[in-house]
Amino acid sequence: MECPYCKKEMEKGGIGANFWWRDNGSSDRVMWEKVPLCSIWSNGADGFYCPDCRIIILPVPEKLDSPMEKIKEKWSKLRGDVEERYNDYKSEQEAEKYQKKKEERRKKDPWEV
């Protein structure tokens, strides 16, 4: 990777596991926004270091597999499934209603309608 400041090639390396980036927080918030820099199951994250500019660039993994993220993912999938089933059920009911109305009309005396 090229250093964005001096344009020299950066040294490839990494940081150890269990590091987080977090914002500085504010008085109205109890929680910091935390961004894990690598998966909690891995030994660390790959990063790039420029010794001239004394800067490190650390690509953050897109998909985090922390237990909490996994639970959230499963939960939202489950919710989606439930919603889908409910919508299927509703449209089935609508179809049944429509069918019943159709049959009722058919049973009626055609001269009455």
Residue located via tokens 């005396």 = 109
For 73, which DSSP code? H
Select from 6, 40, 60, 78 the one that contacts Zn ion (CB under 5 A): 6
Question: Minimum distance from CB of 12 to Zn ion (Å)?
Answer: 14
Q: What is the CA radius of gyration of the chain?
A: 29
Contact between 49 and Zn ion by CB under 5 A: the answer reads no
Asked whether position 51 contacts Zn ion by CB under 5 A, the answer is no
One of 3, 37, 38, 45 touching Zn ion (CB under 5 A)? 3
The residues, any chain, with a CB within 8 Å of residue 75's CB and separated by 6 or more, are none
Cα 39 to the center of its chain, rounded Å: 15
Residue 50 makes contact with Zn ion by CB under 5 A? yes
Q: How far is the CB of 38 from Zn ion (least distance, A)?
A: 23
